[in-house]
Amino acid sequence: MSNPTQHNKITYVEFTTNSIERTKQFYSTVFGWSFKDWGPDYIDCNAADSGVAIGFAKGAIAAEQPKSAPLVVLYSADLAATQAAIADAGGSIVVPTFEFPGGRRFHFADGAGNLMGVWSE
């Protein structure tokens, strides 16, 4: 069965993680996402929770994110609260909040090998 409304749309983003359990705990705690286990080395989160369906596969992580890698940026209504939740869950802010035309943004590391951004107006 096909879904013509999804034709040529981004519907899934997959990340690598060095710890499936850490990833589930971090994103559940910080963003309230829930995950489905697909065996010991793969989890996913549906778009209703995260905005776009996301998968995490266990694997080796590079020492740092390549400059050519896309940056996934999440939205937050309260940047300070999101930063606090990231720190409380064991993540770290790797680029402090900065201003850009239209808003403010920071980047964080999830402690399992992934970097993402968070923005707000």
How many residues would you count in the chain?
121
Contacts of 103 (CB under 8 A, 6+ apart): 119, 120, 121
The token pair at 50 is: 């995260």
Return the biggest CA–CA distance within the chain: 45
Count the neighbouring beta carbons within 10 Å of the beta carbon of residue 6.
9
Q: Name the residue among 33, 44, 18, 29 with its Cα closest to residue 88.
A: 29
What is the pLDDT tens value at each position of the chain, 121 positions in all? 578 888 788 889 999 999 999 999 999 999 999 999 999 999 999 999 999 999 999 988 776 666 767 899 999 999 999 999 999 999 999 999 999 999 999 999 999 989 999 999 9
CATH of domain 4-61+70-120: 3.10.180.10
User: pLDDT tens digit string along 9-43?
Assistant: 888 999 999 999 999 999 999 999 999 999 999 99
In this prediction, residue 1 carries a pLDDT of 55
Cβ atoms of 116 and 27 closer than 8 Å: no
In this prediction, residue 104 carries a pLDDT of 97
